Amino acid sequence: DQQVKQNSPSLSVQEGRISILNCDYTNSMFDYFLWYKKYPAEGPTFLISISSIKDKNEDGRFTVFLNKSAKHLSLHIVPSQPGDSAVYFCAAVGGADGLTFGKGTHLIIQP
Amino acid sequence: EAGVVQSPRYKIIEKKQPVAFWCNPISGHNTLYWYRQNLGQGPELLIRYENEEAVDDSQLPKDRFSAERLKGVDSTLKIQPAELGDSAVYLCASSLVVVAGGFDEQFFGPGTRLTVL
């Protein structure tokens, strides 16, 4: 059973608009949530994280929102740029464990 | 500063053959992870080391997979014998320290893409 779910395999957004990527989780023991970005033939790179005690974290064009009661988080990218085209993985961690990843969402920014 | 280094980048073998992957973490990072990423999936943790000790290997298929991290720096992941279902990207990651109740960013290498024919 998947503990971290990304239900949209792909998302297409026009350049300059807002991209919203969604993620749901089932394990209430997770205490950190992260977003990783992955280009083809490269390893995932860390983008932004949020602690379970917060509901929002912002870093430049990237904002992550956490709704603990709904076990849902989202990544907002605004404005979207062509270089944002990549696969985005939602991940979660509890305690000192390794990361549990979702399947990823392929974001395509259209000019 | 150099990132996580993995080799080889690509490997093609026939089933039942052995294969080994090598990882050199970022200097000073005491925690090292091996993940496997199947096509269309997210990475899945295989094993986690703190220094030279494997502290979580519950997801490592121990009948054919083995790993070691001698001297707490470089690590090797081995599959013997390989099966068709082992075709995947094997990712290595490292982090500076893992503190109970805390989190430290994991830095990933580029991965080794294994194809088993």
Write the pLDDT tens digit of every residue in A68-93.
999 999 999 999 999 999 999 999 98
Residue A87 at interface with chain B, using a CB cutoff of 8 Å: no
Is the distance from CB of B114 to CB of B90 less than 8 angstroms?
yes
Q: How far is B52 from chain A (nearest CA, A)?
A: 16
Is any Cβ of chain B less than 8 angstroms from the Cβ of A7? no
pLDDT tens for B29-71 read 999 999 999 999 999 999 999 899 998 888 899 899 999 998 8
Is A106 part of the contact surface with chain B (CB cutoff 8 Å)?
Answer: no
Encoded tokens for A105: 């969402």
Q: Is A36 helix (H, G, I), strand (E, B) or coil?
A: strand
Residue of A nearest to B106 (CA): A46
